[in-house]
Every structure is written in structure tokens, then in C-alpha cells.
Amino acid sequence: MFKIFKYSFFDLTRSSWSYVYFLFYLLLGMVLLFLNNDLNTAVITLMNVIIMLVPLIGTIFGVMYYYNSREFTELLLAQPVKRSSIFLGQYFGVAISLSISLVLGLGIPFAAYGLFKSPAIWDFVMLLVTGLFLTLIFSALAFNIALSNENKIKGFGYAILLWLFLAVIYDGLFLLSLVYFQEYPLDKFSLVATMFNPIDLSRILILLKLDISALLSYTGAVFKQFFGTSFGSIASISMLVLWVVLPLLRIAYVVRKKDF
């Protein structure tokens, strides 16, 4: 698996897309800091971007890479290599090269701006950690979709739909149910509903780190109480880990049986 990972990884680092992605984040970080002059507000703006774009790019990139490297995959399948290690190797190649672009792209301008001396460093670390998790999660989901769909167009369609669902539609349904059931106590429900969507979970984790959490009033207090405890942070981190592991297990399971 490591060999295939290495191959995919170096293949991707040579491709221009990772550089485009890297440069995009570099530019974004620099422009934000240039315009805001303040690390804290820059972190908030960045959060909006990360929550939208990181999942989208992870999804598109994952699907694209899978379909593009199909011939190479078929070649590999003819060799005496374990199937799961072929696909997981490819997956990690994609996910880790994306993660490195993200971390370096955002890290360099912020570090140059004096992040290490600023109290905002933990907010920023939180931002990067959730960004990393979102990359891992969404490229794993993308691989799953691509594996289940031979048809490229369909695969892309489903991938976009998945992103749209988790980034936008889920919150709409969430809001709808909150408004519909407003007579009932809803803080437990909203806690659970947030846990089930990795994008919402990341958003809340970052918001609670930021000063803005006081705005969340009573519900925010419930959230802060939950996420502030060690149980809460373990639960939320393990939820994110679960979001990575479950799709990966499915990849391993599907490729064992799949007829290529």
C-alpha cells in the first residue's frame, strides 16, 4: 500500500492541480490578511471559506483522480497486489497531497504574519484540523461514489449532489425541523443533528473556539457545556474519525467483491 501511496502522491505533486490548489490558498490567506489586518477576523472569514470549499475541492478532486487513473488501476489490478491496498493507497495519495496544499497554502501567509506570537494560534490550529478532517472525509466519500458508478457523468453528479446535501440542504432540513418542532425542547436534537454532519460539526467546533460563541446564547451554552468537556471533545473528534473510517471500510469492502 505504501508504494502505491508514494506513487500516487508523487504523481499528484507533479500535476499542476495540486499547485493550483496550493496557490489558491496562498493567495486567499495573503489577501485576507492584507485586507483585514487582524488575525481574528481573518480566521472567521477563512472559516466560511473552509467550510464551503474544502469539501467541494475534496469531492471533485477525489472523483476526478479516480476516473483519471482508471487505466493505471486496471494495470495494477493485474499484478499480485492486494486490492484494498491499491485503492487505499490511491486514496491516501489524493487526500494527503490535498491536505499538504491546504496546510502549506494557509500556513505560510499566516506564519509570515506573526501567527506564532498571536493568541489566535489555537483558533487557527482548530481551523486547520477541521480542514484536514474535511479533506479526508470528502475525498473518501468521493472515492466511494466513483467506485459505485462506472459512468463518469453520473459519478460527478452524485458527488456534487452529496456536497450540496451536506453543505447546504442538510442545514435547510435542520432549520425546517427546528422551526416545525419549536414547541419541544430542541437543544439535544440540535446537538445530535450537528454531530451527524461533518460540515456542521466543524463549523460549530470553530465557532465555539472563537469569541462569537457568546452570541449563541442559551443553545450555545448547552453546546459549550458539551464540547467543553473532555467527553464532548472526544465524541466530536471520534465522530470526525468515524466519518473517515466508515467510508474507507466501505472502499475496502467494495473493492474486494467488485468485478472490474
Partner 1 sequence: MERFLIFLSLLLFIPTLEAKEIVVCPGCEVSSIKQAVDLANNGDTIRIQKGLYKEHDIEIIGKSLTIIGENYPVIDAEMEGTAFRIKADNFSIEGLHIKNIGTSHTSDDAAILVSRSKNFSIKNNRLSNIFFGILLERSSEGDITGNKIRSKARSQANSGNGIHIWNSKDLTIENNDIQGVRDGIYLEFANQCDIINNICRENLRYGLHFMFSDHNKYLENLFENNGAGVAVMYSKFIEMERNLFRKNWGSASYGLLLKEITDATLKHNVFEDNTIAISADNTNRIDYIENDFLSNGYAVRIRGACYNNVFKRNNFLANSFDVAYTGNINENEFLGNYWSEYTGYDLNKDGIGDVPFRPVKLFSYLVNKTPEAIILLRSTFIGLLDFSEKVSPIFTPAELTDSQPLMQKIKW
Decide if 136 contacts 59 (C-beta within 8 A). no
Q: Of 81-89, 197-205, 230-238, 247-255, which segment contacts partner 1 by CB under 8 A?
A: 197-205
3-state secondary structure of 185: coil
Interacting positions 80-109 with partner 1 (CB under 8 A): none
Closer to partner 1 at the Cβ: 89 or 198?
198
The distance of closest approach from Cβ of residue 30 to partner 1 in the complex, given in angstroms and rounded to an integer, is 22
CA 50 – CA 182 distance, rounded (Å): 30
Binding-site string for partner 1 from residue 153 to residue 192, where x marks contact by CB under 8 A and - marks none: --------------xxx-xx-xx--xx--x---xx--x--
Q: Which three cell numbers stand for residue 111?
A: 506564519
The distance of closest approach from Cβ of residue 52 to partner 1 in the complex, given in angstroms and rounded to an integer, is 6
35 binds partner 1 (CB under 8 A): no
Considering only residues 112, 122, 211, 238, which one is a binding residue for partner 1 as defined by CB under 8 A?
211
* Amino acid code (one letter) for 63: V
239 binds partner 1 (CB under 8 A): no
Closer to partner 1 at the Cβ: 20 or 214?
214
Binding site for partner 1 (CB under 8 A): 44, 47-48, 51-52, 167-169, 171-172, 174-175, 178-179, 182, 186-187, 190, 194, 200, 203-204, 207, 211-212, 214-221, 223
